[in-house]
Amino acid sequence: MTSMMKKIGLTRMAVAAAVLVSLSGGAALASVDYSFKAVGQPSGNTLTVQLVDPATGQSVTDAHLFAVHVEYRGAKSVPSVVYHYTPLTSDGRGGYVYEGREVQAGTTLKVVAQRTGHDFVSWGSVRVPG
């Protein structure tokens, strides 16, 4: 029984990976190349986030960032996990405003970025300072 559950779990992971690649238009998942950084302290329920290019150390201004909210529906639901993406507003200088009730000191926020004109999707997280 345990072996069958492991196979089901691995199958679900493979299907989820295939769905992510197909939703990104076949773009490469390059989360290793870019990192996310909190800028300053949160202000109420908002936090400014930057996507940082490790080659230059500079913030990326030509990207679209999204907050990722994971909804677990239970093992009997299909699909059992649903991802909701909320676009972050750009400040035009490399900062992207994350707004939501989960912006609290010590919380880790899930984010994803897609750079304009590039075939990549970068997944990551940022910890709320404070």
Q: Longest Cα pair distance anywhere in the chain, in angstroms?
A: 54
Judge whether 9 lies within some domain. no
Classify residue 85: in a domain, yes or no.
Answer: yes
Sequence-distant (≥ 6) Cβ neighbours of residue 60 within 8 angstroms: 34, 50, 51, 52, 53, 94, 113, 115
**pLDDT tier at 23, thresholds 50, 70, 90:** very low
Domain residues for the domain of 94 are: 27-127
pLDDT in tens, 46-94: 999 999 988 899 999 999 999 999 999 988 888 899 999 999 999 988 9
| Nearest CA-CA partner of 27 in 126, 117, 96 | 117
Residue 94 and residue 60 in contact, taking contact as beta carbons nearer than 8 Å = yes
Task: Report the C-alpha gap between 45 and 84 in whole angstroms.
Answer: 19
Residue 122's CATH number: 2.60.40
Is there a domain that residue 67 lies in?
yes
Instruction: Look at residue 115 in the predicted model and tell me its pLDDT.
Output: 86
Q: Is residue 48 part of a domain?
A: yes
Give 15's pLDDT tier (boundaries 50, 70, 90).
very low
In a domain, 10, yes or no: no
Give residue 58's Cα distance to chain centre: 19
Nearest-angstrom CA–CA distance, 85 and 71: 11
Give the residue with greater pLDDT, 49 vs 117: 49
Question: Does residue 81 form part of some domain?
Answer: yes
The answer, yes or no, to whether residue 28 has pLDDT greater than 70, is no
Q: What is the pTM of this model?
A: 0.69
User: What is the number of domains present in the chain?
Assistant: 1
> Is residue 16 in some structural domain?
no
Two structure tokens written together for 57: 């150390």
Strands laid side by side in the 89-90 sheet? 35-43, 46-52, 95-99, 89-90
| Residue 2 predicted with pLDDT over 80 | no
Residue 3 maps to a domain: no
Asked if 24 contacts 121 with a C-beta cutoff of 8 angstroms, the reply is yes
